[in-house]
Amino acid sequence: MKVLYIAAECKPFAKAGGVGDVTGELPPVLKQLGIDIEIVTPLFGCSRLDGFAVKDGGEFEVSFNGQSAMVDVRTTELHGVPVTFLGNETYFGGDHSTVYVNSEKIPFYDDAMRFSFFSEACLRVIAEKQPDIVHINDWVLGYLFGRMAMQQFTQKRVLTIHNIGYQGNMSQADIQGWTIEEILHHDTIGPLFVDPHPTWNSINPLRLALELADRANTVSPTYKEEMTLPEDPTRFFEGGKGLHETTKKLSDEGRMIGILNGFEYKSEPTDETFASTLEIKKENKAALGREFPNPDNFLLGFVGRAVEQKFRLLTEEIDGKCVLEHILEIDGVNVAMVASGLPEYEAVLHRLQDRPNFSPTVAFDREKAGQINLGSDVFLMPSLFEPCGITQLESMNCATPPLVRWTGGLVDTVVPHTSAGGTGFGFDGESNTEVLRNLISCVHEAMNFYADEPNKFEALQKRGFFSRFLWSSAAKRYIEELYEPVMD
């Protein structure tokens, strides 16, 4: 079984988020389990190839948007998995040297252009390598399935969705003259490329990929279920973001599943490594404590992007104050944060930064982030939604119980502290107000549990530290529930 695994990002070469982690971690494990797999990814100006034996694979020409363009090919290996880089200075160099581009005038415009070009280049690679399965990731590769179908490629098609909130929606008028406009005008495939919102008059490459996939998955079982439900803004529920009918159809047909991501652990959990981690925690908490008048207070930590998904619930107002203010007013709580992102969320951090029990770092600071992961008593992760999540796994590996919203992969990885085998704390609600009140109450609950039940709290830490979410388990499910069924 030969698989071509195609993604916009792949660590350690170029990474913007979870797709890069999965692309760099899953294929090597699939290789160990006997899958003949290769990775295909763009060659960005920001790609880091130092330390790898990179070969020049030559170049080839593609016709794109009515013009000829050259594709620069480089190859290397990642843990035994062949990697093919496809580059072009116009689309992936210079001003476009980042993995994704923020198009301010027309959302997704630049990335639609860049990755539809990448898809055209991938057609050539598929034709040369003749895999049995083409496995793509997210909306940016949805065009590839459309082009494969138009050109009657026989390879089986597998799609992984890492975040259904990003669909690549653009006005149909904005792709006039593009190669992908041919997909829109195709008699049978074209209707699958149209966004489900009829008044938008838009294309939707993620819908196209879903409709044309032989099998699809997302990165946790609970998120898969959430994707099949409509959005409900009255309870901060994101759902399928307009694609719920499509995902439900695939789910009902048995063509869509949820497979929990794995995590790369640095060491095996033992009593010795747990004890050592607790000692390191004390050191890091003491270092963080120097930023507070009362350094021994209960320390709540947050590390993440200040964007809607990760930060909105902390900035929502209730009883005249935002949730973060309510948390800071809890007697005996210190809060340490590393967060940067949208100006409106950063403004909240700046507004509250003079509070004595608050230490915000409004910038990306890897060293401080690691210190917070290790030094905090509880790690705060109140996500609006979370397809899988990696930060809660990192915090548990640091013996820091996470405090999460019960959504997506957080449900699948964190066990409530009130249950047997508990590893963390959680909240949710049936209304927006209830969600916010329960978030604040959950902080009280975690602090009281920490203060009143020290032995039980350490047992909670230990269970989280010993919990394991392995790529070997995930990879077996990819083979048994995605790859093997499409080859039958």
Considering only CA atoms, which of 103, 80, 99 is closest in space to residue 91? 99
Say if residue 96's pLDDT is above 80: no
Fold classification of 2-262+472-487 (topology level): Rossmann fold (3.40.50)
In angstroms, the Cα distances linking 226 to 233, 252, 263, 414 are: 14, 14, 22, 17
Dihedral through CA 385, CA 391, CA 396, CA 397, nearest 10? 150
Q: What is the pTM of this model?
A: 0.95
With 0-12 / 13-18 / 19 or more C-beta atoms within 10 angstroms meaning exposed / middle / buried, residue 221 is: middle
What pLDDT does residue 227 have?
98
How much is the pLDDT for 95?
67
Same fold, 2-262+472-487 and 271-468: yes
Mean pLDDT computed over 194-199: 95
Here the tokens at position 136 are: 């793509």
Q: Is the pLDDT of residue 431 over 80?
A: yes
Among residues of the chain, what percentage have pLDDT more than 70?
100
pLDDT of 462 > 90? The answer is yes
Q: What's the confidence (pLDDT) of residue 488? A: 87
Bridge partner residues of 335 (DSSP): 300, 358
Q: What was the pLDDT predicted at 102?
A: 86
Cα–Cα distance, 27 to 180 (Å, whole number): 29
* Top-tier CATH class for 271-468: alpha beta
Task: Identify the pLDDT of residue 79.
Answer: 96
pLDDT at residue 384 is higher than 70: yes
Q: Is 300 helix (H, G, I), strand (E, B) or coil?
A: strand
Which two tokens mark 459?
Answer: 């047992």
Q: For 2-36, write each residue's pLDDT tens digit.
A: 999 999 999 999 999 899 999 999 999 999 999 99
Give how far Cα 423 sits from Cα of 129, 175, 413, 415, Å: 45, 49, 9, 5
Cα 103 from Cα 438, distance rounded (Å): 37
What pLDDT band is residue 104 in, cutting at 50, 70 and 90? confident
Q: Is the pLDDT at 469 greater than 80, yes or no?
A: yes
Decide if 385 contacts 408 (C-beta within 8 A).
Answer: yes
Query: How is the chain split into domains, by residue range?
Result: 2-262+472-487, 271-468
The yes-or-no verdict on residue 83 having pLDDT over 70 is yes
Tokens of 384: 């609006």
pLDDT of residue 421: 95
In angstroms, the first-to-last Cα distance of the chain is: 11
Taking the alpha carbons of 468, 473, 478, 481 in that order, is the dihedral positive or negative? negative
Q: How far apart are CA 78 and CA 3, in angstroms?
A: 15
> Average pLDDT of 377-402?
97
The whole-number average pLDDT for the span 167-195 is 96
- Separation between Cα atoms, residue 80 and residue 38, nearest integer Å: 10
Contact assessment for residue 300 and residue 338, using Cβ atoms and an 8 Å cutoff: no
- Total residues found in the chain within this entry: 488
